[in-house]
């Protein structure tokens, strides 16, 4: 019976040349909220050495329009090279738009940096700056990394425009390990649409003739892919990742910079491993946000116990966000495997259904494992089994800036909240790593309780001010909603009043 079930599943999922059958295609389309677009060419890009020259070359050849969407755009030697290239194109009459996340670029670039580009003709916008009427609006960030040029080529990646991705060879600091793709073909229209939505959210609207339609872009290859432009609460990547974990039959290899999986996703990985799927996860050994790293380690045990293999990168920082399943399906982009990316942020990923591209990503994953240490279960907690990497591969110092990791801090807070809730409610067994989180939470709550008893105003006053701020924000939001509804009613064409019916004539 089990053999028949597997054969039936293979028949449902596997079509000619490794393509997915319509049954699985429809499920993936609905889960991701993105259609499968064919006729593209896709090139895998690894690290700064392959990303930045290709991006700058495309910008320098732009003839019509350039769109840049960046979580971090730094005022450093690399950032200034990009700024100069964009400014030169703007002075040449090309429509150049740059959308940077306000918090991601905070401390990375000042107003003078953006002003210089604006004076050159670049249209610069900041995504989601603080607003008085939105006390918690800062939580959702534009975490995308996107460049689109002329509707002909697009770059989707985890790489930010900052010098640290190039490293510093003079000081022995390695480049950050990261992954992206260069796309040519009709799917570039979907990249334009994703940018247009974020641009509108930042206060502007693209002209009606932008973005271009898929039909106006010629085929450039035979690769089919989905552009998943996630917005807050849409959860397209989360639903798709869950489905892929359920569909995978042989392999599921994942690289993630800030892995803090939810209970549902962890269970999906556990179930796949229990069913014989080779599930592997590659994460940083050293992270630019060590709190999230500790929370990630706290979730290792249930995965390891189910047969999931976990590896830690032994370089300066691995920042890639990618996955490959069964040598047939692959995902590359900006989304980390945590609730911040899945639910709160604006993210951009591509899911590629092509055996050649999947094989290339698998080869890259295997190469990365040669510089990783496998984590195995010890008697009490996971421990690292040392494996020497190739010669001349120093780990390098810990990254000094936590800016990129800040986009996932909400996921860490949720993980801590789940651990505390489980300890209070007794809903599940806590591991040793999570018990340490509970101890920290107990100490913090004890200090808060003591402050409330001895100095009640110390916390009561800030809480009252925050409540007043929230009330003001809600009132402003309600007023805006009512005004928008009134404008919509006024814009509707008024229906002509029906003419009164003629009175019936009575016989006789």
Q: List per-block mean pLDDT (blocks of 10 residues) for the chain, which spans 508 residues.
A: 44 47 79 94 97 98 96 96 98 97 92 96 94 70 96 96 92 93 97 95 83 88 96 90 94 94 91 97 80 74 93 91 96 93 93 96 96 81 46 39 50 52 48 61 76 71 69 70 75 57 50
3-state secondary structure of 19: coil
CA distance linking residue 79 with residue 70, whole number of Å: 11
Structure tokens of 1? 């019976």
Q: In terms of pTM, does the model score above 0.85?
A: no
List of E strands, 18-130: 37-46, 65-70, 95-101, 123-127
pLDDT at 435: 60
CB contact burial 490-504 (16+ within 10 A = b; e otherwise): eeeeeeeeeeeeeee
CB half-sphere exposure, 280, CA atoms < 13 A: 19
Q: Angle at CA 37, nearest 5°, toward 31 and 43? A: 105
pLDDT at 136: 66
pLDDT at 189: 96
Nearest to 333 by CA among 184, 486, 179: 179
Does 481 sit behind a cis peptide bond, omega within 30 degrees of 0 on the bond before it? no
- Between helix 432-454 and helix 409-425 the angle, nearest 10°, is 90
pLDDT at 159: 97
Nearest to 321 by CA among 398, 234, 409, 255: 255
Structure tokens of 315? 């370089």
pLDDT at 226: 96
Token pair 């930042």 is at which residue?
202
> Looking at the domain that runs over 34-221, which CATH code has it been given?
3.30.870.10
pLDDT at 508: 43
CA distance linking residue 415 with residue 139, whole number of Å: 16
Q: Angle at CA 264, nearest 5°, toward 235 and 255? A: 70
- Between helix 236-247 and helix 22-32 the angle, nearest 10°, is 150
Tell me the catalytic residues: 143, 145, 150, 319, 321, 326
CATH topology of domain 1-32+233-389: Endonuclease; Chain A (3.30.870)
pLDDT at 442: 76
* CATH 3.30.870.10 domain range(s) in the chain: 1-32+233-389, 34-221
| 45 neighbors 157 (Cβ within 8 angstroms) | yes
pLDDT at 166: 95
> What length is written for the chain?
508
pLDDT at 151: 86
């Amino acid at each position: 019976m089990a053999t028949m079930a597997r054969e039936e599943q293979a028949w449902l999922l596997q079509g000619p040349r490794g393509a997915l059958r319509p049954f699985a295609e429809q499920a993936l389309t609905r889960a991701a909220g993105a259609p499968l677009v064919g006729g593209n060419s896709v090139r895998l890009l690894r690290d700064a050495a392959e990303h930045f020259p290709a991006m700058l070359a495309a910008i320098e050849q732009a003839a019509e329009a350039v769109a840049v969407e960046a979580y971090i755009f730094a005022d450093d030697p690399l950032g200034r090279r990009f700024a100069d290239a964009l400014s030169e194109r703007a002075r040449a009459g090309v429509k150049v738009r740059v959308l940077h996340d306000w918090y991601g670029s905070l401390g990375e670039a000042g107003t003078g940096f953006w002003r210089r580009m604006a004076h050159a003709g670049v249209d610069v916008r900041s995504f989601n700056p603080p607003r008085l009427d939105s006390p918690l609006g800062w939580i959702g960030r534009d975490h995308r990394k996107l460049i689109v040029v002329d509707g002909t080529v697009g770059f989707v990646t985890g790489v930010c425009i900052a010098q640290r991705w190039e490293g510093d060879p003079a000081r022995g600091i390695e480049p950050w390990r990261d992954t992206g793709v260069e796309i040519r073909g009709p799917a570039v229209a979907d990249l334009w649409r994703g940018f247009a939505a974020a641009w509108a959210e930042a206060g502007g609207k693209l002209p009606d003739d932008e973005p271009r339609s898929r039909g106006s872009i010629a085929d450039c290859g035979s690769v089919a892919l989905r552009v998943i432009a996630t917005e807050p609460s849409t959860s397209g990547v989360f639903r798709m990742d869950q489905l892929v974990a359920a569909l995978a039959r042989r392999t599921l290899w994942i690289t993630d910079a800030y892995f803090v999986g939810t209970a549902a996703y962890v269970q999906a990985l556990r179930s796949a491993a229990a069913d014989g799927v080779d599930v592997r996860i590659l994460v940083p050994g050293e992270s630019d946000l060590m709190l999230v790293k500790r929370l990630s380690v706290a979730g290792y045990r249930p995965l390891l116990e189910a047969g999931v293999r976990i590896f830690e990168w032994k370089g300066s920082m691995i920042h890639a966000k990618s996955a490959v399943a069964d040598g047939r399906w692959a995902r590359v982009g900006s989304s980390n495997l945590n609730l911040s990316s899945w639910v709160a942020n604006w993210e951009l990923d591509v899911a590629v259904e092509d055996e050649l591209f999947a094989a290339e990503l698998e080869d890259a994953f295997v190469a990365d494992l040669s510089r990783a240490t496998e984590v195995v279960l010890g008697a009490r907690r996971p421990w690292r089994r040392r494996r020497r990497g190739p010669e001349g591969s120093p780990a390098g110092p810990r990254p000094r800036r936590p800016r990129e990791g800040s986009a996932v801090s909400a996921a860490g807070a949720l993980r801590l909240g789940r651990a505390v809730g489980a300890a209070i409610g007794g809903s599940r067994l806590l591991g040793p790593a999570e018990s340490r989180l509970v101890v920290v939470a107990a100490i913090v709550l004890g200090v808060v309780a003591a402050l409330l008893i001895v100095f009640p105003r110390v916390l009561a006053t800030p809480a009252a001010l925050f409540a007043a701020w929230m009330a003001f924000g809600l009132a402003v939001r309600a007023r805006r909603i009512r005004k928008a509804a009134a404008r919509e009613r006024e814009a509707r064409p008024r229906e002509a009043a029906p003419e009164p019916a003629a009175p019936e004539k009575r016989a006789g």
